Amino acid sequence: MERKQFELGDIVQMKKQHPCGSNEMEIIRMGMDIRIKCVGCKHSVLIPRVKFEKNMKKVLRSASSAEGDDFQQQ
């Protein structure tokens, strides 16, 4: 099975919703564990990378493409 591609600062969609009702999370730390922050309520959660990859649906907004857009506008 192919590994999912994600980077620091990406906004990802998770399979399950956070208790606040949002299922969008921002990746704020990467390593063996991944720290994600809820876009809705700003609560952060540290989970193992394997569990994160299993529960992530897709990348909604990539940090690298957003930085490129900002650079082109200036």
pLDDT in tens, 13-70: 999 998 999 999 999 999 999 999 999 999 999 999 999 999 999 999 887 776 655 5
> Residue 20 sits in which domain range?
11-73
Number of domains in the chain: 1
Structural domain contains residue 5: no
Structural domain contains residue 1: no
pLDDT at 5: 85
Pairing between strand 56-61 and 33-38?
Answer: unpaired
Put simply, whether the predicted model's pTM sits higher than 0.95 gets the answer no
Max Cα distance, the chain (Å) = 40
Structural domain contains residue 4: no
Q: Is 14 helix (H, G, I), strand (E, B) or coil?
A: strand
DSSP assignment letter at 16: S
